[in-house]
Structure 1
Amino acid sequence: MKKTYYLFNPGRLSRKDNTLKFIPVDENGREGTPKFIPVEGVSDLYCFGSLDANSALFNFLGKAGISVHFFDYYEHYTGSFQPKEYLLAGKMQIQQTKHYLDGERRLKIAKKFIEGSAFNILKNLRYYHNRNKDLEAQLVKIQELNSKVGSTQAIPELMGIEGNIRQTYYSAFDTIINEHAMEGRSMRPPLNEVNALVSFGNMLCYTQCLDQIYHTQLNPTISFLHEPGYRRYSLALDLAEIFKPILVDRVIFRVLNKKEIQSKDFDFHVNRVILKESGKRTFIKAFEERLAETIAHRTLKKQVSYKHLVKLECYKLSKHLLEMETYQPFKIWW
């Protein structure tokens, strides 16, 4: 089974027959022990250190269908190498564009993304509220905000409700997490440990959604909730809204409350906090474990991993755009 590989160290990546050869290089230019990765076992690569590679390697990766996602020192997602879009279809492109251009149809889909996101957020809050965490105020406020989604008439109005839901939700983190305070959401840069984990986890969720979109006929640049823009895959942002509470937030609560990640796993600067490599490795391990977890799917009547649930969401959206069935967002039922 193919898997994701994470490259934390700077180094050189090259092709060695039908294998990827990675040579880590330290800050003084000294080479470490080469690592060999059989290409048939790779689904994608995440590069957190500087990577030295040439066009021949990327031609090889493209033919093998391997995506490469790049991140800078401050954990910001900077871009992706995506193989040729072999599944893109003209009919889907036309239908996706039509739904975006039609304000009513676009708004209908955008509302579904918020509906799924709010439902999964409320599930998280109820889970901890039932475990002696007093989250009644946040539950009431988010339910009130969610009740307004159906009557919204424009995307900016909908985005405003979504922002208020998130703000209320994040205010509950200080109650859910035992020994760390979030103190409100801070981004670019994150100002404390919890915000650093949220930013890092959201980035992983975004790229996970992007990867699954790539394996369908959907175009990742045409979105419905977030405004499409230059040089960004905004449809992945749409889908990530549904899955961040499930894939990211639950992992954050786990690694902090179980002390798998502690303050020693962060670098503290004057105006920002970022994860050290030890923290990244621990969080990614927990994130991968979450993706690999399976649930009994009520419709498919079989065990399905959380990772596959993201791809199923893409398929459901595709069917909606092709007017085969009405899109319903994924909602936790357990």
Structure 2
Amino acid sequence: MTHQTLPTGSVSPEQAAREQSLVDEVVASFAGAESPRLRELMEALARHVHAFVRETRLTEEEWAAAIEFLTAVGHITDDKRQEFILLSDALGLSMQTITVNNEAVGAATEATVFGPFFVEGAPRIELGGDLAFGAKGQPCWVEGTVTDTEGRPLPGARIEVWEADEDGFYDVQYGDGRTAARAHLFTDDNGAYRFWAVTPTPYPIPHDGPVGQMLQAVGRSPMRASHLHFMVSAEGQRTLVTHIFVAGDDYLTHDSVFGVRDSLVRDFALQPAGTPTPDGRDLGDTEWTRTRFDIVLAPAQTASTS
């Protein structure tokens, strides 16, 4: 099928026809792909890339600058840093892919970006345990339930939690092998969970490379809104990757990776020093916060296959 894409501006019919002929030729070149899905993806990619060039009337100098930018993204990428994922995040592509693949189902909790700092094998803590493991930050009590979309509790649901410390760094960024501000736990027989963490604070995505230069060029901040990561799984349910965000955070409306959803914003209520803690923990003269996050998992069969 031919998808006619007309360029903007004063382009003659002859010029438009010449450009469209090239689009059709490129799209047709993928007809021999053995995989129907690969063919669909490559044909759509060709149409959209050519439409971008034609709509913007991309110059050869701009094309060369784009190639240079992508080359720089590749050069800075290594086994510890994935600048292409960072670019995808900063363009909202990661978040859009997540949105497409986590279709809305009833009251199911919204998904958001995974981020680059999840680590397999985080230690287990018991209910009410502390996942900080020495990470700097204000103590924070987090509690809630995990249910299905019918409101039924999900006992034994696995909850992975990870976050940055008060300086905006994840444990893996220190390079000294520490494990801090990450753990996993399981819900009780009523689907409830509770743990201590540190109050989330905002921090920048890595911005010392080409993606950071792009953000600076377009007047965008590299800052992420304060958040706490969750990955929640239970038998028969779609695995949820999400965050909760701190109400009142300065970056809620311009999170650098477009991960904020209103439904994920929570009050982290400040508790004055000396306020009794839910589990009797003695925090001395330290202020702390508390929040509640009730999680609803969608049925596994609703996962998108697109």
If the length of structure 2 is used for normalisation, what is the TM-score? 0.23
Higher radius of gyration, 1 or 2: 2
If the length of structure 1 is used for normalisation, what is the TM-score? 0.22
